[in-house]
Amino acid sequence: MGRRAVRKIDPQLDLSRHLTAIEAIPIPLELATLFERDQPLEIEVGSGKGLFLAQASETYADHNFLGCEIARKYARYAAAQLARRARPNAMVVHGDAQRLFTEVLPGGCAAAVHVYFPDPWWKKRHLRRRIMNDRFVAQIERVLQPSGTLHFWTDVYDYFQATLAVLKASTRLLGPLPVDEKPAGHDLDYRTHFERRMRLGSQDVWRCEFRRQPVHDDRAANTNVLAQS
């Protein structure tokens, strides 16, 4: 399904506190420098237009939210939503989440990782481009703190099943734990824009959660490329 154009961003809006390029993040990353308050971190992979970040950062003001979006126009749009709402606890990294996880994020830094409706790459020859591959799910496990949660939702049944299989084969995450669909209380009461689109179009959505083992295990700890060098 194609993507709709994004609305123009007010040129007066200051995005500097809500948007950064991945290249601009100093390594090693000092998480305390990204947000005003030192509080639990949740990371969203592929934030799109940023509905999740905008809503979750309001509902859970005592958590910090870091979105990662590879498409510049969506990264800017999502950051603009946060800047308009003056959210001190949410920002967007413009860049490839695979690079963010592999090169930037320290082990055990996140209370949750959210992956909603990742690009399905339908064609057989493109399947290896799917982000929920064996290397990336191992990075998710590494970045989650003990008992941290992975949220994975998709409208593609085959991608859902393939991801369950890759999580089982490549991680020790506990799951899948089922997630119920919640009735929408208003027009934007959805987890993300894609969930809204799928549900308004009466399409199925497949949801699950996984938890990292409660006790810190060495196997997944600190194996990013920085720790190895």
Q: How far is the CB of 104 from ligand SAM (least distance, A)?
A: 12
How far, in Å, CA of 224 to CA of 142, rounded? 8
The DSSP letter of residue 135 is: H
Question: Contact with ligand SAM (CB under 6 A): which of 36, 119, 189, 217?
Answer: 119
The DSSP letter of residue 100 is: I
Question: Contact with ligand SAM (CB under 6 A): which of 53, 70, 105, 110?
Answer: 70
The DSSP letter of residue 220 is: G
Tell whether residue 74 is a contact of ligand SAM (CB under 6 A): yes
Residue bearing tokens 């090169």: 103
Question: Which residue's Cβ lies closest to ligand SAM?
Answer: 46
Q: Which is nearer to ligand SAM, 96 or 209 (CB)?
A: 96
Q: How far is the CB of 224 from ligand SAM (least distance, A)?
A: 16
Tell whether residue 160 is a contact of ligand SAM (CB under 6 A): no
CA angle 189, 195, 199 (to 5 degrees): 85
Q: How far is the CB of 49 from ligand SAM (least distance, A)?
A: 7
Q: How far is the CB of 2 from ligand SAM (least distance, A)?
A: 10
Question: Contact with ligand SAM (CB under 6 A): which of 18, 35, 41, 48?
Answer: 48
Question: Contact with ligand SAM (CB under 6 A): which of 77, 117, 159, 206?
Answer: 117
Question: Contact with ligand SAM (CB under 6 A): which of 105, 131, 137, 156?
Answer: 131
How far, in Å, CA of 170 to CA of 161, rounded? 14
How would you list the strands of the sheet with 90-94, edge to edge?
Answer: 19-21, 90-94, 64-69, 41-45, 110-116, 144-154, 206-211, 174-178
Contact 136, 101 (CB under 8 A): yes
Q: What is the largest CA-CA distance in the chain?
A: 50
Residues that bind ligand SAM (CB under 6 A): 45-46, 48, 68-71, 74, 96-98, 116-119, 131, 192-194
- Active centre residues (catalytic): 119
